[in-house]
Amino acid sequence: MSLLSPEWTALLYLAAAVCFILALKGLSSPKTARRGNAIGAAGALVAVVTVFFSARLENIPLILAAIAVGSAVAVPVARRVQMTQMPQLVALFNGVGGGAAALVAVLELGHSEDPWVRLAVVFTMLVGAVSFAGSAVTVGKLQELISTRPLLFPGMPWVMGAVILGAVLSGVLVVLTGSVGWSLALLGLGLAAGLLLVLPVGGADVPIVISLLNAFTGLAVAASGVVLGNVLLLVAGTLVGASGTILTKVMASAMGRGVTGILFGAFKGGSTAGSTAVSDRPVRSSSPEDVAVQLGYAQRVVIVPGYGLAVAQGQHTVAELATALAGRGVDVVFAIHPVAGRMPGHMNVLLAEANVPYESLRELAEVNPEFANTDIVLVVGANDVVNPAAKSSPGSPIYGMPILEVVQAQQVVFLKRSMRPGFAGIENELLHDPKTTLLFGDAKDSLARVLGAVKAL
């Protein structure tokens, strides 16, 4: 027996849908992202409670047990995850969403003989399985459990084609017969397609794949809304799918590459198939005291944060350094590349955690014209997003990707742990430029020593 009337159910669904739309609006800006996230969570809570009290539920103890187990796993994981592991967590949650949608579709297959509903079941199973398997590979690459380089084997395009053809045939048979056996075959082929889709993707393309798989999960959830006859699920999935698709397109454009080139470029040798070899070419190194003198007596400094800053958890130290320089009258801003880090907005979140004012952040298009008037660029843990090879080397895997043009500044200081290449595995010629100096070491420790020297000036 349901406790909510259809009218109240529709009204609460509408309220939840509005919350989801407002959440997306809030997440479009760093200033309103925290509020947008809270509104989205409130909408999700309203949706879950409404379903619980409006539907004729069976197996309520099992449902409550599943909610308890899920909460017991998710809450401590979300609280303990490090900022550097946030992309893995996002990819993991995304994959779990796609996998859950696929499993629900399998269970609902026998509840309807309507061919359109079965078509929705097939779509949900296939796309959900692709998202689950692809996200699992993405987590492995981000965690470096498997190589970040594109993984290929002879005949892989043909195998991929055969898997897709088999999935299409299985899907047709599921629609015609409703066979559970063919649905399980479809599920297996979907998992194989997800693996084959993401394994050839390497290096700097991983953040875009995270966004693309997020869009896949949204579409799978929307289709599961058709399967279950739940309008709110259809709306929520469509919002996620649409926003993920737009984000994927924007990020691909920011890298100067097409989505198909990112997914299948490795088959033609065009992906970020770099190496992990450490360069032994000579570079000009410096000391924290020398870097402090350069920064302390500059008029304008641009700080470029990258994944190395997140790894070192140096966001609070770099924020303190920026404050100390500003106290000496130095104009300090942070330059943010759209794909810096391991996921969209990674650097914005990192700096927001250290209370860096939003007004100090500059997007790529905004800051690039300002580098020519910059005394010093301090690159902290970034590499590929400032690599001039993206503009000067047509054979480079990242050729065409817009970069932060720090080479235009008067001086460039790199804070690096070693001479290993960045995530794309490409050597950075800027490290060998006469205007560039390097300060080796853990980013947080190096920043702390520079900060101490600046305060002592």
Q: Residue 269: is it exposed, middle or buried by C-beta count within 10 angstroms (0-12/13-18/19+)?
A: exposed
* Listed residue (110, 91, 173, 118) closest to 343, CA to CA: 91
DSSP 53-71: HHS--S-HHHHHHHHHHHH
* Listed residue (218, 195, 198) closest to 208, CA to CA: 198
Cβ contact 451:319 at 8 Å: no
Three-state DSSP class for residue 146: coil
Cβ contact 227:108 at 8 Å: yes
Identified catalytic residue from 384, 433, 442, 445? 384
- Strand ranges (DSSP E) for 239-392? 300-305, 331-336, 361-363, 376-380
Question: CA 342 → CA 86, 214, 259, 384, distances in Å?
Answer: 9, 15, 17, 12
Question: CA 312 → CA 146, 360, 415, 423, distances in Å?
Answer: 22, 21, 11, 16
The verdict on whether 384 is a catalytic residue reads yes
CA distance 452 to 454: 5
H helix runs in 28-155, sequence order = 33-54, 60-80, 86-108, 115-142
Residue 425 structure tokens = 């595995």
Provide the 10 A C-beta neighbour count for residue 400: 13
Residue 31 structure tokens = 């200033």
Residue 4 structure tokens = 């909510």
Q: Residue 58: is it exposed, middle or buried by C-beta count within 10 angstroms (0-12/13-18/19+)?
A: exposed
Catalytic residues: 384
